[in-house]
Each structure stands twice: as structure tokens, then as C-alpha cells.
Structure 1
Amino acid sequence: MNALMSCREHPDAILIEDYHAGDMICPVCGLVVGDRVIDVGSEWRTFSNEKDAKDNSRVGAAENPLFDGGDMSTMIATGTASEAMKDEFGKALYKNRRAVSSSDRALITAYREIAQMADRLNLPKMLVDRASTLFKQVHDSKALKGRSNDAIVSACMYIACRQDGVPRTFKEICAVSKVSKKEIGRVFKLILKNLETNVNLITTGDFMSRFCSNLGLSPAIQKAATHIARKAVEMDLVPGRSPISVAAAAIYMASQASDDKKTAKEIGDIAGVAEVTIRQSYKSMLPKALELFPQDFKFSTSVENLPTN
């Protein structure tokens, strides 16, 4: 504590701690540098030869803002002044809090589910904290009272992924959740509306790297697919199509023009898009295929010989 504080008049003086008042005092001029300092030591001496050598510190655990009441792990016994509630010196007993409120129980369950979903999706701890904080906000607002916690957890995970710049599709969230894609989408919209939060618009580039990596495609094909998808959107060749469908169709076109061809079904299984949806987007892009490919792309199959369906 001394290393963090110093007297402004005597910066080199070693501060003295008044344990009774909880003050840090300068020994030269008597200036109180800090007050309300918590003593983290034991309340009485302990000896190494005692059988019960546990450290009876009473400072409690660190507060956790994700729980109601700070999730303090100790509490002072209350009620009538019976002998059972006091120690041998007549002081009130401090007991571990065994009873968990229903609100905290729901939060604990939700946070555990968020952590498990993140683990299945291989997401970092920072994103778990973001999703947990978002769930706490929804829980405290009571705006979605009546909705299942599983749906809220899934929607919070989806929003956290979007806000953290590592978006996942509804189907990917649904695959590690207990609720339907439709229900996740419905709760997602309700959270955005009631909490007045926002998420960035999804683009084709958000998924391209992950999809191509999972398909085992080379960086050259990934670069071509990214270029094709961006140009297709700029030229308005795929109006109304989701960025995921456009990304999948662009990967299909780039792979078919290379020597590492992937079928629409293989791409659909990775992207979570129906094979027919990929083919429909691909057909919309095919007439302008020559303009979509980057100039330095090395064709294994010419544009004229690309599949027509």
C-alpha cells in the first residue's frame, strides 16, 4: 500500500498505517494520506503449532458485478442475540452464505451455459464476459420476462460475437444451443429494441476467412472469393441475398475456377446454407463472372467452362 501512496510534502517518508482508524499517515507532518484502508490480515494471531491453523480473515471475497448483491461470500449472522450466533468473545459470527437467491441461481445457470457455448464455438474469454454482461442487462431490465433463458443466452452470444468482430451465423449458434433458429432471431430483435444496443452490419468478408479455412482452400482462392463477393455486391448482382449466401456462392465460383474444386453441398455444410440457395446466388453472378474475378487470378478452369447450375 505504501508504494502506491506518498505525502505530497515529504514524498520520501515511509507512511505509517493506523490499523484502528484505517488511515495512512505521514510520520513527519502527520498528514493523513489515505483513509478507510482495509486491513487484509487476520483479526487475531495464529500460531503454526495450532491444530486449527486456518486464517480467519474477514474481508470477504471480491465483488462480482454480474451477480445481484455483489456475490459476497460471507454474511453477518442476524436475528436474536442468541449464544449460537456469537463467538466466545461475544462478537457476531460471520458465516458463509449458503442460500442462493432465485435471481442469482438463474444468472449462474445462464453464465455456465454461455461459457459452454463459447467453448464449443472456440471463442475467447473476453467474449464470454461480454455475453454475460449483456445477459445481466436483459435480466435486470425484465424486458423479456416470459422468454426462455436458453433463447436469451443464445441471442446474447450472437450479439456478443457481432460486437466483438467475430460474427457467427444463427445456424452456428443454434447448433450449440437448445432453441430453434427462429426463436433466437426473434429474441435477438427484441434485445436490440429494448436495450437500444446495436450491432455492426454483417459483410461477406466477416465469414470468408473462416469458411475457406474450414474447407481447406488456399489463400489465393480465399482472396479471389473475397474479391468476387465484394464486386457482386457493388454491381448489385445479388439483391436481397444474405451476406452468408453471397460468400458461399463466391467460394463456389472461385473453387470451381481453380484446381481445388468444392461442391455446393460441401460449402453449404460449412457455411450453413442450403445447396439450392448457393446455386441460385451463383446463377445470378455467373453472367458477369469475368468481371468478378481479380485480374491476377490463375484459372484452372476458364470462365466459359464454369458449371451453369
Structure 2
Amino acid sequence: MTKVTPSGWVLGVDGGGSHTRAALAAPDGHVQGPWTVGGSNPNDQPRWAEHLTELLRPLLEATPDLQAATLGLAGYGELAPGRAATEQLLAGLLPEALPRELLNDVQIAHFGALGGGPGVLLLAGTGSIAWGRDGAGQERRVGGWGFSFGDEGSGAWLGREALGLISRTLDGRADAQALTTALLAALGLERDPAYLTRPLLGWVQAQAHPRSAIAQLARPLADLAAQGDPDALALLERAGQQLAAHVRACAAALRLDVPARWSAAGSVATSPLVLDATERALPEFERVPPLLPPLGGALLRAAGLAGWPVPDRWTTEVARQLSGATAGSS
């Protein structure tokens, strides 16, 4: 029997609360992309449909030999209206006969990091969530409750906690002076000497998408912590402890063998100070480096959906190229 050599491309999409990335992979592991647009969570991003359309339409038009697609999107499956709207949009964008799967972004992150094996994936960027899987394929999620009363340890949570500390410092109820000065400067705001107006409150109220805007404070906060600011360091330490609680609860629910494996993904979970704090809070767990980033997890699943054989060298090559692309764009 003649062996059929796979051809064409598979599409992977990693859609987060702040950014959405897509890439194509070939049977030999060659990667095109990634391409990046804004966030694609329909539950809290007003322009989510515009962002997905902007990303996918030109990509699909330029790739006639697409074999399969896996899309991992933040918020998918959490609320029925958002799920229905996402499926309707993608039905109009993706070719009708194209094999595809639509997942939550934490699922592709878990698959990429742990290769489909048992363990817990901690995903923390704009929001935070843990996804676990045992050896029998049973799955469990912890967290992901959203910005209003959850997402502990995430970028949005860090930003919200920092804003609270700034407000208390401005009132005289706290004394985080260096943090307050640095973060107000990052927002382009100045202290009001007479305190007759509240520019910080005005900034928050002016944001079309407060969750993403507030989450952006995590970056200057991390920079401040790296310089040794004690208040910033304390906030990042608390974030690590909150994220560790996600991992611990997920592993306990699945009764994972000790030492349970866990891995981290997302801009906040993988930032050095937060990652170190999280790992110190999980001494009986084994942290493993991710096999692939979340976008690579989407490509790996899409390759399986297309029926391609996926040897280790394919995974290694995809990981190498995605790592190089990320380093080049940071």
C-alpha cells in the first residue's frame, strides 16, 4: 500500500483576554506566524468579534490547503450567550468542511504544556484559572470566576490590588509612596496636590474595557518589584500564593499522585517573581517546563485532528520556532 504523505497546513489560535495569536504549521513542523490582534473573550471584550475576524479572514483566504483548525479562546464554554455568539461567528469564517475544534484557552495550554498527560496547568495572564487532568482522562477546572470577584493572582487582580493600595496611599491610610508615584506615572497621571479632583478614578471610568486596562498595570508593577520595591514585591508574593491555591485545589479534586506535576503559562504565571512565589508555596509538587506554549498546544491538537503523525521532532521544531517568534516580538 502506498503511504500518503501529509500536506498542507493546520491552524492554531490562542485567544486570551488581552491578545489573540494565530499560527500555521506544516507536516514537517515549519511554522508561519504568529500573528497577533486584541483580545477575543466575548464575555468582557466588546471588540472580540472584530479582532477574530481581523485575524482569521485574511489568513484563511491566503491558506487554501488548510487541513484542520483548533481554536482555544478565553471564556469559551463559560456562558451560553458568549459560546453561541462565538460559534456563529466562526461558522461564517471557517470553511464548512474544515475539521475544527473549539476549546477554552486553558485546555490548549494544558495540552501543550503536558502533552495530554496528567497534571495541572496554571494559566494566569489577564485572568487566572487552573486546569487539571488525571491518568484516566478526568478533568477539573479551578478559578476562572472573572474580574468582579475572582481571577486571583492574575494581571487584572494585581492591577486592582495595586489601585487599591494607591488609593489608600493617596488618602493617607497606607504609605506605598514609591509604588504610587511609579504607577501614576505609568498611567500618565499626576498627584493632585489639593486632592480636589480624583484623576485616578477618572482614568478607570474612562476605560472602554477596564479589566484589560487594569491588567496592564501588572507589567510596571513587576518592573518595580524587580527593582526591590517592598510593596510591589509583597503584591507579587500574594499573587503567587493565590495561584498556588488554584493548583493545590485542582490536584486535590482529581486525587493526583504526589508529587503531582504542574506547569505554568501566561504572562503573569511565568513572570519570574510570581513563578518563584508560586513554586515555593507548592513544595510537594513537581513543576515541569511546558512541552509547548498554548499556541503550540492548539497546533498539536490540530495536527492530530488532521490525522497527521506527530513525532517528537515535529513537537521540538514547533516549540523552537514559536519560542524564537516570541523572543523576537517581545
Relative contact order, higher structure (CA 8 A, sep 6+): 2
**Counting strand residues as a fraction of each chain, which structure ranks higher?**
2
Q: Normalized against structure 1, the TM-score is what?
A: 0.21
Q: Normalized against structure 2, the TM-score is what?
A: 0.20
